[in-house]
Homo-oligomer: A and B are copies of this chain.
Amino acid sequence: MAKGRKKLKIIPLGGLGEIGKNITVFEYGEDIIVVDCGMAFPDDEMLGIDLVLPDTTYLAKNKERVKGIVLTHGHEDHIGALPYVLRDVNVPVYGTRLTLGLLEYKLEEHGMLSKCHLQTVTQGQTINLGVFRVEFIRSTHSIADAVALAIHTPIGIVVHTSDFKVDYTPISGESIDLARFAELGKKGVMLLMCDSTNVERPGYTMSERTVGETFEEIFMNARSRILVATFASNIHRVQQVVNAAAKYGRKVAICGRSMVNVSNKAIELGYLTVPEGMLVDIDKIKNYRPEQLVIVSTGSQGEPMSALTRMALGAHRQVEIAPGDLVVISATPIPGNEKSVSGVINELFRKGADVIYEALADIHVSGHACQEELKLMHRLVNPKFFLPVHGEYRHLRQHANLAQGLGMEKERTLIMEIGQVLEINSSEARIRGTVPSGKVLVDGLGIGDVGNVVLRDRKHLSEDGLIIVVLTIQKETSGIITGPDIISRGFVYMRESEAFMDEVKQVCKEAIAKCQGKNCLLIKNTIKDILRDYLYHKTKRNPMILPIIMEI
């Protein structure tokens, strides 16, 4: 049979060796399907960048072969790149109701909703996409309606957990479908792709429900206004705030654009249940006494423009922090956000609020499986090969170690980089070849127009600023007509350093004098070289130097 000789190709285009922009390509013969299509947030080196997309050149080149994009849940790192990628590769998108509900918002913002083909699936459903049969397995994560995938292929079954935790007591719906994983394991699974985010943490991730218990305690004792900041997408968390508010007779006001959007969508779709008359418009909170209110807001990561940050800085239009307010930050800072979150906490304390954050109480749980949960998944699925996904290199390595600790042979644990191609048939799996992959930077409306040169310039400008040397010269003789004038930005404060700038001007004059009769480029380079040495010697700084010479 010809089919038997073909191989399944798996190509991660994001999410390995990094946190975020999760996207994986599955390919067999002529058929391609894609799992997830997420964005990532820029790191500190990417100055001025708004968000980061995966490089999907490979999909664009093969777009007529792509049967569809399958989504596991509605987090930004799983759906955030779709408004960009669907422009080039407009194929059907499959996801559960809430996942597609959140995606609709994004596509609408980009004016693309009417052009896209969204297909709702339910947990437990199976669909056919070309040669692939994709099964959506009920899962639990820090967002409702999450699924894992069993991808039935001609060479065998691939189980992709996506982000998950084993929550035996989730807030709504049923628990993760462990029985189905076990059943697949019994049948025989070729490859397990499994979430590595929390592989360094021993034990179990606590159930989302434990946070509700802490909320109840806090609400029971509070005598003032309560503000809870959390991730907009964590609808179960919001539900638990609503439940505690209902129990202790408080009204709920929702604050922050994404919190309002997601909550509305979740209420509309039935994922968030709020008793009649309990929701209060944020503009109307003045009508209630502090102890009658709880405000749910964005800003748990200290994001500069978020509702909570603006409240902390006294710059929020509707909510002013008052002494006695109780602020609960129901989240952990994502690596890189520690300082912003800490800054917000300090400002809230300064304004007289009490602040409860993770160091002080159990007001957050992770959405990802810890070591014991991962071991459970490995044992249930019992795969032939293992590919750790969703994590930095260290996480992938530790996850491979964990699998080997469970008895899997080293040769069957595969650590991949994005862009590499994994080829599997029924007996072997090997990494062979690469496709284009990487980061596409979005800055304002520009997609991919900011590259390394631009970032290097921004970095240079950010560290020592710039000095512009302007002069006009006579074209024939190179004689100076006007200038040199010196303009600086981000270098030193000009008003206090006029004398220094006069010296700089003098240095430029001497540099120009050395270039009599030379061409413009040579004069520029001479000014740059001499001025760079002079400035470094005098200040140990290295500003960008831009000589501008007008010849007339």
Contacts and interface: CB of A to CB of B under 8 A. Distances in A.
A472 B470 CA distance: 11
Contact of A349 (B338, B394, B472, B482): B394
A493 B541 contact: no
Interface in A325-370: 335-336, 338-339, 342, 345-347, 349-350, 355, 359-360
Nearest to A401: B354
A457 B201 contact: no
Contact of A335 (B338, B347, B394, B460): B338
Contacts of A462: 47-48, 458-459, 461-462
A446 interface: yes
A471 to B, nearest CB: 8
A96 B397 CA distance: 46
A463 interface: yes
A489 interface: yes
Contacts of A454: 465, 490-493
A392 interface: yes
A544 interface: yes
Contacts of A463: 47-48, 458
A44 interface: yes
Interface residues of A, number: 69
A493 B449 contact: yes
Contacts of A449: 492-493, 496-497
A457 B458 CA distance: 12
A493 B452 CA distance: 9
Interface in A439-497: 443-446, 449-451, 453-455, 457-466, 468, 470, 472, 481-483, 487, 489-493, 496-497
A350 B468 contact: no
Contacts of A453: 493
Nearest to A392: B346
A552 B551 CA distance: 12
Given A48-B464, A444-B540, A541-B444, A345 B550 contact: no
Each complex incorporates copies of this chain amounting to 2
B394 A355 contact: yes
Contacts of A44: 44, 339
A468 B470 CA distance: 11
Contacts of A155: none
A548 interface: yes
Contacts of A548: 468, 470, 487, 548
B444 A393 contact: no
Q: Which of A201, A350, A460, A489 has the most CB of B within 10 A?
A: A489
Residue of A444, A458, A490, A544 ringed by the most chain B CB atoms within 10 A: A490
A156 interface: no
A48 B345 CA distance: 26
Given A44-B44, A443-B464, A487-B546, 11 more contacts: A48-B462, A200-B359, A335-B342, A336-B338, A443-B539, A445-B540, A457-B489, A460-B490, A461-B489, A468-B546, A482-B550
Interface of A: 17, 43-44, 47-48, 200-201, 335-336, 338-339, 342, 345-347, 349-350, 355, 359-360, 392-394, 397-398, 443-446, 449-451, 453-455, 457-466, 468, 470, 472, 481-483, 487, 489-493, 496-497, 538-541, 544, 546, 548, 550-552
30 contacts: A47-B490, A48-B541, A335-B338, A335-B339, A335-B342, A338-B338, A346-B392, A347-B393, A350-B393, A443-B539, A444-B541, A449-B497, A454-B492, A454-B493, A455-B490, A457-B489, A458-B461, A458-B465, A460-B490, A461-B461, A461-B466, A466-B466, A468-B548, A470-B548, A472-B552, A482-B550, A487-B548, A489-B544, A489-B546, A548-B548
